[in-house]
Amino acid sequence: MRGVALSLPKGGTTKQSAFIQRYAINRLLRYARNDDNTDKHELVSKTYITILKKYKYNKWHIPLTLTVVVVFILSLRLLSDPDLGFHLNAGKWIIENFSFPVKDTFTFTAIQNDYIDLHWLFQVFIFIVFKITSYNGLSILVAIITVYNFKKK
């Protein structure tokens, strides 16, 4: 059989690696058709074993997964942001009135001051999450965002 060079990238998703496996096997079968001395099943099984060896998990997957789980668990906590009530009330007001507030009616010390709501999308989003899942859902949302930011860096 002629020499066949397969360049398989490391990593990727499960769908990508399954696609790469099928591609490599089909490519080897194409070469095996041209060579009568090669047993196709033996060639495919050897190739499949080689591909599986290349895509083994490395030694860092388990510690990384455990770290992400620990960060998620430690991020589950009672929310204590003093602006949370303001954002929830503003999100409720936006949904009820279908407009943005132009006067600050939620702050005790600054009633009826002009107000530009820069956080309107965030306020609507957390109000919807709060309405569906209460404070537990907000806590889980904060934990998910924390894990996402932890994995991103």
Q: How many whole angstroms separate alpha carbon 110 and alpha carbon 94?
A: 19
Domain segments of the chain: what residues?
A: 14-54, 61-152
Q: Please give the C-alpha separations between residue 22 and each of 26, 28, 29, 75, 121, in angstroms, as whole numbers.
A: 6, 10, 11, 41, 44
Q: Given a cut of 90, is residue 60 above it in pLDDT?
A: no
pLDDT: is 117 or 16 the higher one?
A: 117
**83-102, pLDDT tens digit by residue?**
899 899 999 999 999 999 88
User: What single letter denotes the amino acid at residue 111?
Assistant: I
**30-46, pLDDT tens digit by residue?**
665 655 555 656 666 66
pLDDT category of residue 1 using cuts at 50, 70 and 90: very low
Q: How many whole angstroms separate alpha carbon 30 and alpha carbon 1?
A: 11
pTM above 0.75, yes or no: no
